[in-house]
């Protein structure tokens, strides 16, 4: 173990030294090795197994294993069944607060069951997807039905995440894959337990990170994960909230302007280039600039659904204080959940990075004050593709006929929330010769790489 930690430390030194070696054609703000206090606390220890929530509220589950495996009671770890070398199928359903499992006539009820291959290199299968690690089945805590969780090692999990999050690319882009691996690892560790009430750590979807198991792993992504194994980003001694999105449109955003979250020194407004007037790293992205059009009637229909959904969303957690007021009524007794006729749209505030900070939607019911990134859900594209507006970085053009709004056009930039790492920018930086460490410090300024301890 000591040797492994030493080896990782050496890799870190090598990555940091590459900054001084001048391997990139242009220089960015330097990383400051040693500026951070040493890692502290259990959150900087790699988890033995991570719980990835695959599906919830399932009436039945059919799990398959193609080799020797055991079925265990999740509480006592007592063995309930043994599959021989031919493997087999495990059927699960729910009865009351218990999981009922059946295999070839055998059947019993437990608070949870585990399907664990005897050979760790074997995969478990559900819904035509293979997974490393093991399956845990529990009664869904929030609903009826069953929740299926893939319990898997952190690095194995990343192999099922990185190619889906940043794509598959050639060797010239490998530094971006390494940067993505570090960002995804850091995101995962900093969000451990955030879905605890549901019985797992992270969702296998865009709710956290897209994870599709082991069948379509990418050899170059796996190499990038292996070479950065255990490396995470820290700022002021704490794990970075390593958000990333597809294309920032040339300008990353401050987090607190986009979401109801506190400011972070590394999630700030900055140009995605080497300086003012320079070409943005993500400028060749097909999402760098975009146009979305609505006729007023169609947008009015969309708003009848999205504005009430916005009001409901803004009642939870930290959101009311961040977004108040969300609605100003035009007259007493109005029901804000029924917006009615669309009268006007007006952007009343922009963030320093050029994203919409506040949009006012005027309807016959009143004025809806839409804040930050939620504007993307409210102004949903008429085609439904994508489901939400590509980004909050846009200007509106309005056409009126006889004083009536007839057409609305959004001229926009970027794809995604624009906080943290810009994936298309990172790929271009890699192609230009920047190292993974340089890419990371560009997108998370002031952060430093550290090695996770292992249990």
Contact footprint for Zn ion (CB under 5 A): 248, 272, 282, 422, 425
| CA–CA distance, 324 with 240 (Å, rounded to integer) | 28
Contact between 62 and 126 under an 8 Å Cβ cutoff? The reply is yes
Close Cβ partners of 299 (under 8 Å, ≥ 6 residues apart): 342, 379, 382, 408
- 100 vs 271, beta carbon nearer Zn ion: 271
CB of 278 to Zn ion, least distance (A): 12
CB of 280 to Zn ion, least distance (A): 6
H or E stretch at 159: helix 154-159
CB of 353 to Zn ion, least distance (A): 11
H or E stretch at 343: strand 342-350
Buried-exposed string 387-423: b where 16+ CB fall within 10 A, e elsewhere: ebbbbbbbeeeeeeeeeebebbebebbbbbbbbbbbb
CB of 90 to Zn ion, least distance (A): 45
Give the other-Cβ count within 10 Å of 6's Cβ: 11
| CA–CA distance, 71 with 55 (Å, rounded to integer) | 19
Dump the DSSP string for 291-310.
EEEEEHHHHHHHHHHHHHHH
CB of 272 to Zn ion, least distance (A): 3
Largest CA distance in the chain: 77
Give the other-Cβ count within 10 Å of 40's Cβ: 9
Close Cβ partners of 70 (under 8 Å, ≥ 6 residues apart): 79, 80, 81, 82, 83, 115, 116, 118
Tally of CA atoms within 13 A in the half-sphere of 192 that contains its CB: 17
CB of 224 to Zn ion, least distance (A): 20
Contact between 267 and 254 under an 8 Å Cβ cutoff? The reply is yes
CB of 221 to Zn ion, least distance (A): 21
| CA–CA distance, 362 with 384 (Å, rounded to integer) | 23
Site of tokens 């846009």: 394
- 136 vs 177, beta carbon nearer Zn ion: 177
CB of 264 to Zn ion, least distance (A): 18
Q: Which two tokens stand for residue 53?
A: 């929530």
């Amino acid at each position: 173990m000591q040797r492994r930690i030493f080896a990782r430390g050496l890799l870190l030194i090598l990555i940091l030294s590459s900054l001084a070696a001048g391997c990139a054609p242009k220089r960015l703000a330097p990383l400051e090795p040693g500026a951070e206090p040493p890692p502290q606390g259990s959150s900087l220890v790699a988890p033995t197994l991570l719980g990835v929530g695959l599906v919830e509220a399932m009436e039945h589950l059919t799990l398959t294993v193609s080799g020797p495996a055991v079925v265990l009671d999740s509480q006592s770890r007592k063995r309930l069944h043994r599959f021989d070398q031919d493997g087999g199928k495990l059927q699960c359903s729910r009865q009351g607060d218990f999981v009922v499992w059946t295999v070839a006539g055998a059947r019993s009820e437990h608070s949870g069951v585990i399907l664990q291959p005897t050979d760790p290199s074997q995969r478990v299968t559900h819904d035509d997807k293979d997974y490393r690690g093991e399956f845990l089945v529990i009664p869904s805590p929030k609903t009826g039905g069953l929740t299926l969780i893939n319990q898997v090692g952190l690095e194995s999990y990343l192999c099922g995440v990185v190619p889906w999050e940043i794509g598959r690319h050639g060797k010239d882009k490998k530094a971006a894959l390494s940067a993505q691996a570090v960002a995804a690892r850091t995101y995962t560790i900093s969000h451990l337990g955030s879905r605890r009430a549901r019985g797992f750590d992270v969702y296998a979807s865009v709710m956290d990170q897209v994870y599709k198991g082991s069948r379509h792993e990418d050899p170059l992504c796996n190499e990038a994960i292996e070479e950065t194994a255990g490396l995470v980003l820290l700022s002021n001694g704490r794990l970075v909230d390593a958000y990333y999105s597809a294309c920032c449109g040339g300008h990353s955003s401050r987090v607190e302007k986009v979401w109801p979250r506190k400011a972070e020194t590394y999630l700030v407004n900055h140009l995605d280039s080497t300086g003012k007037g320079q070409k943005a790293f993500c400028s060749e992205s097909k999402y760098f600039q975009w146009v979305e059009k609505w006729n007023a009637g169609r947008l009015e229909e969309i708003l009848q659904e999205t504005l009430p959904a916005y009001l409901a969303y803004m009642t939870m957690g930290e959101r009311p204080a961040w977004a108040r007021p969300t609605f100003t009524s035009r007259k007493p007794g109005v029901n804000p959940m029924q917006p009615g006729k669309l009268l006007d749209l007006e952007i009343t505030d922009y963030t320093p990075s050029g994203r919409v900070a506040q949009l006012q939607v005027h309807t016959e019911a009143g004025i809806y004050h839409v804040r930050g990134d939620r504007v993307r859900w409210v102004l949903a594209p008429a085609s439904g593709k994508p489901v939400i507006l590509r980004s909050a970085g846009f200007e509106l053009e309005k056409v009126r006929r006889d004083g009536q709004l007839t057409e609305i056009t959004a001229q926009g930039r970027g794809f995604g929330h624009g906080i943290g790492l810009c994936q298309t920018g990172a790929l271009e930086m890699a192609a230009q010769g920047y190292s993974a460490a340089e890419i990371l410090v560009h997108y998370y300024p002031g952060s430093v790489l550290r090695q996770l301890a292992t249990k």
